[in-house]
Structure 1
Amino acid sequence: MSVGEAVEAKPRRRAPRAAFSALVMVILLLLFGVPWATLLWSGNAWPGPVVAVGTVVFVLVAGAFPVLMLRGHGGHSDTASRIADTTLGVIWVLFTWSVIGQAAGLGLALLGVADPVRSRVITAAVLLISVVLLVWGYVEAMRVSRVRRVDVVLPRLGPGLDGLRVVLITDTHYGPIDRSRWSRGVVEVVNSLEPDIVAHTGDIADGQVEQRLGMSTPLRDVRATHARVYVTGNHEYFSGALGWVEHMTSLGWDALHNRHLVVTRGGDSLVVAGVDDRTAAGSGLPGHHADHVAALAGADPDLPILLLAHQPQQIAGAVAHGVDLQLSGHTHGGQMWPFHYLVRIDQPVLQGLSRHSERTQLYTSRGTGFWGPPFRIFAPSEITLLTLRSP
């Protein structure tokens, strides 16, 4: 590269970074600015000192937020992550209900309700609803997941496998909040379901294995009659995927890294396969990418196929390769309303059982844990018991 080309390349490299920084700034201004305007500025007529103090608080929190995010998730500081993630959850709820509150304020104005009464009513409603939802959402996030029971008819399933019990856990996201007790509770619930197969479809943790040993080790005690199987999610590729694959193997789980095994009962068999997450190819790890051909290599084409793939979006590959049922997670069911609608932009399904071809069905779990903000709002977590039925 010549000197001239190098000089021209610098602005080109800086341009995407500048655009990203500008986008982050706009998002922060909206997230913090809309609640500030709703609670402090728009017609409330609060005393000057109240507005001044409130504005300083908003500015300080908004300024600290990106720094804490970088130190937490970039610098692996659990304390910074806890503060930043909680802040994100709180401001998301305040932003959502501030937008709704502003719309309701227009309605009150049409009814003849004047300021400052109108704005103060909206402020009180936004604060009350936000507090209730955040307390409830925190309790929902931290509790051991409820069991969701689903029967799935697979036309190619042999009668010997009718009633096979598959328990799905996913997106446990062991992270900066110590949830060792929660992890043991999940294992107890899973074992109480007396599963034949237990599947974990990825995003096991945020952090390296040594950071999350206390929370992940209880998975050693999961019991299954025929198999305990696991595939990587996208977060493994932020947190040392090779270490997590090796750790799950050391805990007695079969890591289905683009491979399969066969479960047989009553003279009938089922192929249980797994593929890496769709982001694995960009990780730089040799051999890590979603490879359906390798996963099903040598499998009897007449046998039904149960496939583990972290993201619902991977269903196209399942359809192309004649999979009967794909199990996925990743979406968290939206986790915090109305984030649900943003998830649907990227994924074909938010949660539940769906059909994608004459043969292929997909079950998408809302997730067993949570990522980031310790809140679940209108998106409860789940441990899924799928009972497979032959026709």
Structure 2
Amino acid sequence: MTDTSDTRPAEEEARAPRYGRLLHRLMRFIPLIAPLLLWAVPCWVLLYGGQRWPLPVTLSGTALFALGLVGVPLAMARGHGRRQQDRAAIIGDTLLGASWVLFTWSVLLGVLLRPALAVAGAGDSQDRARIVTWAVLCTTAVLLAWGYAEARRVPRVRRLDVRLPRLGAGLDGLRVALITDTHYGPLDRARWSARVCEKVSELDADLVCHTGDIADGTARRRRAQAAPLGTVRATRARVYVTGNHEYYSEAQGWVDLMDELGWEPLRNRHLLLERGGDTLVVAGVDDVTAESSGLPGHGAHLAGALQGADPELPVLLLAHQPAFVDRAAAGGVDLQLSGHTHGGQIWPFHHLVRLDQPALAGLSRHGARTLLYTSRGTGFWGPPFRVFAPSEITLLVLRSPHPPASS
């Protein structure tokens, strides 16, 4: 009898690299396959699913889908590539968001509604196919109109108490306002920015935080939209950390502009906030993408951010991406504030976000001590839509386990 106990692991190890290489090759085709699916699936569901439309309708509809398939990449390339043409970016972003919503509801209603109509005995197969078409078109139109209004409005304020076991009694009730992911971009939102900043100022916060992704574009190009940030009022401090989008568009320019506007960039450093005889360490780190940006001095370094701080004091950390929370928990941070996820922005994109980040939105616990608050963001990126992922301005009221008697 031949002993194969030693050969099987070797065979499996030999196959593993082959499977890895195959998966890597397939991943290279995703940028080509995904746009094709976004347009081909709705085209099939709406035009070729048994509707038997008149030939001019079928040909016109097919031409529109083909135009979208070709036009979106071209518009995105002109808008976000080397030319940076804002008008092309607006067209490309809008069509990208519309195609995602149309794709989603073509799949859902195509799979769910048609069988339901058949069970209900609603007409013949052609009638049912046409009902699905109109249902998809109407649902998409309603969601896009609502999603556009949600994206462009001034966010509602989300208020919550956060209890930190190490927070001193003198700091009980400390008000922390959080904005993030404002993403000033091709659509001029200077007036929206001013209204957001006014609303933040009305919160009478002790500390106002911006956790990055200020804009899509350089500080010089988006300065007019970002300028209202200089009007934000805080009783103690205004602090800022970089997001990944700053590193797509001259991050140091944004750091310098925020400093000019009166915000304190916490680039791997901290400040101390004192009240009632107690102290809170407010620290910040560069975005994790800074490490590969090539910019001198940029990188996410928690040890540097906490250097010199008393380890017995509670720590509030600003880090753009929730994924940094593993390092924060290992470093003994009490509360991390993040953005980046947009809550998914356009449903059901949140399922893909969850593959990349440990939290989508809201308050979550990580390890024995560390809490993470993930904002759904104040603005929007790219497509000017928010579907089932509302934007927010957040007001966190920090609570001590031993508040003063007068509280």
1:64 matched to 2:71: yes
1:97 matched to 2:105: yes
Query: What's the offset of the Cα at 1:278?
Result: 1.1
1:83-94, aligned counterparts within 5 Å? 83-94=91-102
CA distance in 2, matches of 1:363, 1:77: 35
In the alignment, structure 1 segments of 5+ residues that lack a partner are 1-14
Which residue is equivalent to 1:79?
87
Q: Which amino acid aligns with 2:228?
A: P
Q: Which amino acid aligns with 2:137?
A: L
Residue by residue over 1:164-219, the C-alpha shift from the partner in whole angstroms, topping out at 9 and shown as x without a partner, is 00000000000000000100001111010001000000000000111111110000
CA distance in 2, matches of 1:275, 1:343: 22
1:1-391, aligned counterparts within 5 Å? 22-75=29-82, 76-103=84-111, 104-113=113-122, 114-391=124-401
1:19/1:52 CA distance change after superposition, 3 Å = same
Indicate the SS of the match to 2:151.
helix
CA distance in 2, matches of 1:135, 1:234: 29
Which residue is equivalent to 1:6?
none
CA distance in 1, matches of 2:26, 2:80: 21
CA distance in 1, matches of 2:195, 2:52: 50
CA distance in 2, matches of 1:194, 1:286: 37
CA distance in 1, matches of 2:76, 2:136: 26
Which residue is equivalent to 1:10?
none
TM-score, scaled relative to structure 1: 0.94
Query: What's the offset of the Cα at 1:67?
Result: 1.1
Query: What's the offset of the Cα at 1:109?
Result: 3.2
CA distance in 1, matches of 2:28, 2:162: 46
Q: Which amino acid aligns with 1:87?
A: L
CA distance in 2, matches of 1:116, 1:244: 57
Indicate the SS of the match to 1:361.
strand
Q: Which range is displaced more, 22-31 or 381-390?
A: 22-31
Query: What's the offset of the Cα at 1:18?
Result: 8.6
Query: What's the offset of the Cα at 1:71?
Result: 1.0
Indicate the SS of the match to 2:29.
helix
Q: Which range is displaced more, 145-154 or 102-111?
A: 102-111
Query: What's the offset of the Cα at 1:112?
Result: 4.3
Query: What's the offset of the Cα at 1:16?
Result: 12
Number of matched residues?
377
Query: What's the offset of the Cα at 1:57?
Result: 1.3
Indicate the SS of the match to 2:125.
coil
Residue by residue over 1:220-261, the C-alpha shift from the partner in whole angstroms, topping out at 9 and shown as x without a partner, is 011111110000000000011000001100111110000000
Indicate the SS of the match to 2:52.
coil
Query: What's the offset of the Cα at 1:379?
Result: 0.5
Indicate the SS of the match to 1:139.
helix
Query: What's the offset of the Cα at 1:17?
Result: 11
CA distance in 1, matches of 2:347, 2:302: 34
CA distance in 2, matches of 1:170, 1:352: 14
Query: What's the offset of the Cα at 1:263?
Result: 0.5
CA distance in 2, matches of 1:120, 1:210: 51
| Percentage identity across paired residues of the two chains | 62
CA distance in 1, matches of 2:271, 2:355: 34
Query: What's the offset of the Cα at 1:20?
Result: 6.6
Residue by residue over 1:127-158, the C-alpha shift from the partner in whole angstroms, topping out at 9 and shown as x without a partner, is 11111100000000000010000100011111
Q: Which range is displaced more, 177-186 or 100-109?
A: 100-109
Which residue is equivalent to 2:15?
none
RMSD: 1.5
